[in-house]
């Protein structure tokens, strides 16, 4: 990172009201104001009434009749659409400043209404699944229900794990209370945790935040990197007991759901709803463990090139090519992202360009108490929205295109599927995003003019694979281990979690790495550990997207059309079948092995360039 870029980013964070309009997402396109939101809430929720949706009770005992079932499905999907829109506005406004009282209040209220909706309709699935097989066969074969056949079949999969009406109501009633650990961590992480200032090599104190932490880790100033690393982790170490109880509470929630519904394990309970077999998860961890020498070799190269006697964990993000300046303004990054997707055709490219520019999908920069990290959100009746905290690095440009990939996946699915099939499966969530990253990288590689610039970009790609594939698999292994411990009635303690996490870092990074004691607490600051076995999908998604991108970029006949069909499929098929139709079989370990082979090739190429 250039010193000039760092100088421009050390100012005190702005308050939300100080952020220029053009740098904010256009949430007002959903509702112009909270008053308009409230009017819609009064229409679709009727907050003063209990129950809020009594009209659904008329369908009880009538689900065996195709016309009644059809009416119920269409009415419930219509209400669900409007609740999704109301929730989207509330959560986006909340994330602009997580301490803002109005947004906080209405977001919390909206979450409560969603749970109440689930509670009031909790009778539906048990009653449907209590029908005889002949009645179910008649329903799935009925022409009236043809548009909802796959929707019904997906519900029917859950028959072995669906409880009685009364038990399902209790499960629905417990839902909001069960989210306490996740919500408490979110508030702590985004609003309450305080960091000591980081210090650079001249002794100057710099403001620390989640966004600036990642900026500092890419600085050439090693003292600043070390100080930021220590500041970040010491803030979480001070609350290790509280954070241990929060993550234990989250795992206990998963254990409760596993036991209550009769799943084989917490992993089975998490993956079954997403139509993914446990073997995919375990095969990923096994294949990566068999190939950790690839990561160890790269750490050895990084240590040699940087010239350190000891390579520390705060040294793994700084570019190995120090004399290349890839600072990028947001405007330039936006143009590069749009240019990079031209291979997907004019319609796709123009939709993305319009979204990033005139339609203001993106909330660009960090402000005080804004939610950390980056994501793409939205619903069927809104445009996609991207939250990020842009600081001007190449990594930030990659984050922009990553989230834009998510957004275009949502855009294409919503455009081409009816509401009931518009939400793409979570297993596919990280494919389009990492596909976008590969397109941007290849676009940049085609334009570089020097060996040093090429080396810098290849280094960027290697580090993306290290972070998205190897590191996320390490996270997945940690998450699996802590769930297995709790399933065996072993209580989690801070000492146990720190030792487990340290051991994994030692195994994954190898002998070339000095594993600092601060990393022992890193588990306590990872939001994704509250997402219920989500992280492995970064690794499987990257494996799938690299295979798909290779087909498209090489000009393989039909590959582009198959990829666009993949983006447009939503949840109309099972996720592994959707990928197979696009040309990737994630039931085998071949895509994972191919990505590791690509990683090895890139490391070898970087070694030659740096020689």
> Mean per-residue pLDDT for 448-465?
92
Q: Say whether pLDDT at 535 is over 80.
A: yes
* Predicted pLDDT of residue 326: 80
What angle is formed at CA 386 by the lines to CA 41 and CA 380, rounded to 5 degrees? Answer: 45
573 falls within a domain: no
| pLDDT confidence bin for 1, thresholds 50/70/90 | very low
H helices, E strands: number in the chain: 26, 7
117 falls within a domain: yes
Domain count, the chain: 1
Q: Which of 403, 437, 438, 518 is catalytic?
A: 403
Q: Are 161 and 263 in contact (CB under 8 A)?
A: yes
492 falls within a domain: no
Percent of the chain with pLDDT over 70: 98
| pLDDT confidence bin for 190, thresholds 50/70/90 | confident
Q: Are 174 and 144 in contact (CB under 8 A)?
A: no
| pLDDT confidence bin for 10, thresholds 50/70/90 | low
Say whether 403 is catalytic.
Answer: yes
* Predicted pLDDT of residue 11: 63
Kindly report each contact of residues 530-533 with a partner whose C-beta sits within 8 Å and lies 24 or more positions away, as own/partner: 530/181, 530/182, 530/185, 530/186, 530/247, 530/250, 532/250, 532/254, 532/270, 533/266, 533/267, 533/270, 533/271, 533/281, 533/476, 533/479, 533/480
- Alpha-carbon distance of 500 to 504, in angstroms, equals 6
| pLDDT confidence bin for 413, thresholds 50/70/90 | very high
| pLDDT confidence bin for 3, thresholds 50/70/90 | very low
* Predicted pLDDT of residue 449: 84
Domain range enclosing 44: 30-178
What are the percentages of helix, strand and coil residues in the chain, rounded to 5? 70, 5, 30
Instruction: Tell the residue number behind the tokens 């801070």, with chain if given.
Output: 494
* CA 434 centroid distance within chain: 11
72 falls within a domain: yes
Q: What is the tens place of the pLDDT at every residue in 307-322?
A: 999 999 999 999 898 7
Write b or e for each residue in 151-164: b if 16 or more Cβ atoms lie within 10 A of its Cβ, otherwise e: bbeeebeeeebbbe
Global pTM value = 0.86
> Mean per-residue pLDDT for 104-112?
95
> Mean per-residue pLDDT for 441-461?
93
198 falls within a domain: no
108 falls within a domain: yes
Average pLDDT, the chain: 95
478 falls within a domain: no
104 falls within a domain: yes
Lowest mean pLDDT among 202-206, 319-323, 353-357, 397-401: 319-323
Q: Say whether pLDDT at 231 is over 90.
A: yes
Q: Residue 98 maps to which CATH number?
A: 1.20.140.70
Q: Which residues pair with 226 in a beta bridge?
A: none
* Predicted pLDDT of residue 2: 46
């Amino acid at each position: 990172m250039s010193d000039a870029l760092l100088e421009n980013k050390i100012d005190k964070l702005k308050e939300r009201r100080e952020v220029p309009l053009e740098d904010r997402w256009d949430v007002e396109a959903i509702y112009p104001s909270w008053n308009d939101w409230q009017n819609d809430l009064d229409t679709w929720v009727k907050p003063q009434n209990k129950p809020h949706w009594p009209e659904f009770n008329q369908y009880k005992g009538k689900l065996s009749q195709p016309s009644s079932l059809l009416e119920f499905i269409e009415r419930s999907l219509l209400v669900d659409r409007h609740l999704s829109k109301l929730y989207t506005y509330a959560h986006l406004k909340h994330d602009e400043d997580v301490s803002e009282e109005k947004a906080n209040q209405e977001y919390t209220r909206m979450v409560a209404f969603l749970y109440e909706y689930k509670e009031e309709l909790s009778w539906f699935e048990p009653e449907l699944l209590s029908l005889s097989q002949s009645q179910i066969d008649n329903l799935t074969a009925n022409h009236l229900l043809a548009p909802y056949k796959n929707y019904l079949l997906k519900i029917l999969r859950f028959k072995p794990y669906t409880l009685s009406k009364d038990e399902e109501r209790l499960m629905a009633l417990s839902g909001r209370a069960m989210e306490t650990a996740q919500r408490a961590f979110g508030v702590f992480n985004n609003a309450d945790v305080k960091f000591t200032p980081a210090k650079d090599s001249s002794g100057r104190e710099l403001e620390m935040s989640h966004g600036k932490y990642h900026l500092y880790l890419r600085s050439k100033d090693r003292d600043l990197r070390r100080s930021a690393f220590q500041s970040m982790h010491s803030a979480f170490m001070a609350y290790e007991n509280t954070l241990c109880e929060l993550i234990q509470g989250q795992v206990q929630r998963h254990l409760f759901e596993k036991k209550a519904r009769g799943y084989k394990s917490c992993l089975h309970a998490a993956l079954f709803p997403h139509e993914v077999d446990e073997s995919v998860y375990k095969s990923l961890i096994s294949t990566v463990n068999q190939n950790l020498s690839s990561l160890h070799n790269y750490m050895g190269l990084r240590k040699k090139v940087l010239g350190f006697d000891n390579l520390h964990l705060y040294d793994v993000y700084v570019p190995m090519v120090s004399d290349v300046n890839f600072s990028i303004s947001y405007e330039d990054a936006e143009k590069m992202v749009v240019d990079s997707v031209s291979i997907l055709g004019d319609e796709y490219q123009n939709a993305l360009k319009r979204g990033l520019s005139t339609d203001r999908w993106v909330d660009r920069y960090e402000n005080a108490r804004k939610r950390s990290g980056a994501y793409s959100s939205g619903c069927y009746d809104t445009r996609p929205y991207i939250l990020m905290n842009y600081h001007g690095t190449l990594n930030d440009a990659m984050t922009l295109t990553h989230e834009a990939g998510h957004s275009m996946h949502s855009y294409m699915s919503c455009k081409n599927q009816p509401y009931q099939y518009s939400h793409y499966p979570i297993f596919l969530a990280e494919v389009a995003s990492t596909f976008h990253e590969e397109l941007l990288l290849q676009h940049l590689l085609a334009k570089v003019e020097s060996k040093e610039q090429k080396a810098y970009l290849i280094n960027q790609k290697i580090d993306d694979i290290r972070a998205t594939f190897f590191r996320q698999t390490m996270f997945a292994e940690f998450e699996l281990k802590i769930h297995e411990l709790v399933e065996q009635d072993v209580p989690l303690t801070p000492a146990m979690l720190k030792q487990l996490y340290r051991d994994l870092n030692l195994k994954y990074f190898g002998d070339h790495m000095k594993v600092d004691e601060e990393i022992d607490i890193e588990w306590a600051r990872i939001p994704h550990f509250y997402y219920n076995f989500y992280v492995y999908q970064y690794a499987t998604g990257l494996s799938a997207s690299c295979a798909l991108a290779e087909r498209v970029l090489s000009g393989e006949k039909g590959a582009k059309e198959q990829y666009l069909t993949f983006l447009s499929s939503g949840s109309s098929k099972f996720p592994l079948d959707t990928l197979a139709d696009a040309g990737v079989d994630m039931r085998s370990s071949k895509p994972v092995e191919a990505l590791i082979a690509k990683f090895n090739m890139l490391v070898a190429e970087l070694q030659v360039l740096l020689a």
